[in-house]
Structure 1
Amino acid sequence: MTQYYTWHHLLCTNLFLPCTVPDFAKIKAWPSCEINGMILVWYHCDGIDPVWAVPEQEEITSKEWVYRGHTEHFVNAHIQEIPENAADFAHLTFLHEPVFMSGVDLRYTHSKLWESVKHCWKGEWQPEPEPNKHCSQLVVKHSLTVFGKHFSLMDFAVRARQVGPGLVYLTFEHAFLGRGIILQSVTPVEPLLQHVVHRIYYQRSMPAVIPKFILKVECIQFERDIMIWNNKQYLSKPLLVKEDSAILRHRRWFAQFYSENSTRFTFQKGGLDW
């Protein structure tokens, strides 16, 4: 038999049956929003209400930019490892300089077959001031060289805006390839297992093959990072050189997303709790 209930402010106030409503008949409310083609739920270990809002991407809402695909990955890493990449400029040369056609396996990306074509990256990361201290920005300038000669057609800048600990707006604009955005979301599944999704929205007037190609290239570069993350250990106090100072600044910025009651992961042999 199907039972029907009347709910008011998350409490069960009436059952269409001849019985009394129990005091425990209630459900938990999770603050949420539907924006940019996603449903996002706010979680705070202390039960605090949202202290900042997820920004709306007007081009997605207006349908000027349309959905062109997505990728999904599960990454065996600490959640902080993934956004911390924005401040790790040293890895850009080794991981992301080899042309995307050389693949994702870092054992072979520096092969002589593709060494004549290289991606060149220059990045700068900065936290944003109040009232957006929960945000930070990475600006990356990209260029391409073929046999050491600059190929200016592939010059473009990418702006990656981190919003909170698990959401990134990666926007780009090119004179011929058009404008669009990749939305990255990172959701913890376990202490050291993250579900990462990249969704691309691109201007409607451009052929779908262009954003699908961009998403494929981004996927190749991201999977190079995954090969590192899946085989490294997160250290709370790493030994860093002067050139890695941006990583320390990023860690100080990211610390705002923890509280005294945040779950701390400590390795215990044989333990299954988290």
Structure 2
Amino acid sequence: IGEQVAVFRGHDGKAYVVDAYCPHLGANLAVGGRVFGNCIECPFHGWQFQGDNGVCVKIPYAEKVPDFASVRSWPSCEVNKQILVWFHCDGEGPQWIVPEQPEITNDEWVYRGRTEHFINAHIQEIPENAADIAHLSHLHTPSMLSGADLRYTNSKIWEFVQHDWKVDWKPESEPNKHCSQMFVKHALRVFGCHWPLLDVSVVARQVGPGIVFLLFDQTFLGRGVIMHCVTPVEPLLQCVTHTIFYQSNIPPVVPKFILKVECIQFERDVMIWNNKKYVSKPLLVKEDSAIQKHRRWFSQFYSENSPRLQYQRDKLDF
């Protein structure tokens, strides 16, 4: 969203999020700022701002703090060992919550790694993949040995290992209309033979426009979750992170391998996103019906005042 924020933990243990720049002379509170109680102190002149409401409570050299001295305080929550910030272009407050994954909270599942990608695309393009069932059999059938470069994914050298996918996507109903689910059955074929012991069931639950829980369940490799988060950085630039939590009694090499496989497969999509354009009225066949359903579902996250790219069709004004 292009906003700069300072995140700090007060002495009460709660995480607070405020605008990064001091309204006095613009110093960055997140760079050199110090925490006093539940306030953050500006590194430039020592102004102190409360985390819960952003109000300035101290100016060390002033007789009186002006009533209007404050920074913006952002609605936030700390869940699943992540700090999440609510943004609404009309300034409305939080309208739904992010569900807690109890296995993370009680440390049954522990942190096992994280990846980060920057993608040149609109935020809607990324979750739309969940409803684009046809692309899985074309883009993601080649094994991880084929890598992420699309010029080599269909190389005959690595054809002895292939992924099979069975996928279904559907939106949830009230009171969770802001959620949708993709059910994935993944199988592995080696030299054309199906290895049932390597079958994996994945439930990908989308919560709002930017968070997905990828829940893994495998007979021998155990259970865990990859949290997929999309953060808009600027128009048509998204930061996507994958954070994996896995059973604490499973050797770390297992979830790290799963994250590596996910990363390679995801980078195939990244190459597409970085070079495609958005088609508002796509040419679809009946097997693509889930894409239109997904677009109707995703439209709930826009308002009349949602930022839009403005352009001139017949001029050189960009």
Q: Normalised by the shorter chain, which TM-score bucket?
A: over 0.9
Cα distance in 2 for partners of 1:9, 1:109 equals 52
Contact 1:123–1:139, Cα closer than 8 Å, also in 2 = yes
**Identity of paired residues, percent?**
65
Match of 1:84 in 2: 128
- Aligned-pair CA distance for 1:169: 0.3
- Aligned-pair CA distance for 1:262: 0.3
Q: What residue ranges of structure 1 are gaps of 5+ in the alignment? A: none
Contact 1:6–1:15, Cα closer than 8 Å, also in 2 = no
- Aligned-pair CA distance for 1:267: 4.5
Match of 2:281 in 1: 237
- Does 2:129 correspond to 1:129? no
Match of 1:24 in 2: 68
RMSD: 1.8
- Does 2:178 correspond to 1:178? no
Cα distance in 2 for partners of 1:18, 1:140 equals 62
Match of 1:63 among 95, 107, 115: 107
Cα distance in 1 for partners of 2:89, 2:287 equals 35
Secondary structure at the counterpart of residue 278 of structure 2: coil
The letter of the residue matching 1:190 is E
Change (3 A) 1:14 1:87: same
Cα distance in 1 for partners of 2:275, 2:114 equals 25
Cα distance in 2 for partners of 1:34, 1:209 equals 28
Change (3 A) 1:120 1:267: farther
The letter of the residue matching 1:228 is I
1:99-138 alignment, distance < 5 Å? 99-138=143-182
1:115-168, Cα deviation, whole Å (9 max, x unpaired): 122100010000000000000000010111122211111112100000000000
Change (3 A) 1:5 1:82: closer
Change (3 A) 1:107 1:6: closer
1:1-274 alignment, distance < 5 Å? 3=46, 5=48, 9-12=53-56, 15=59, 17=61, 19-267=63-311, 271=318
Q: What residue ranges of structure 2 are gaps of 5+ in the alignment? A: 1-43
The letter of the residue matching 2:81 is G
- Normalising by structure 1, we get a TM-score of 0.94
- Aligned-pair CA distance for 1:96: 0.4
Change (3 A) 1:49 1:108: same
- Normalising by structure 2, we get a TM-score of 0.81
Give every structure 1 segment of 4 or more consecutive aligned residues whose post-TM-superposition deviation is greater than 6 Å: none
Contact 2:188–2:195, Cα closer than 8 Å, also in 1 = yes
Secondary structure at the counterpart of residue 179 of structure 1: strand
Q: Count residues with an aligned counterpart.
A: 271
Change (3 A) 1:266 1:5: closer
- Of structures 1 and 2, the one with the larger relative CO (CA 8 A, separation 6+) is 1
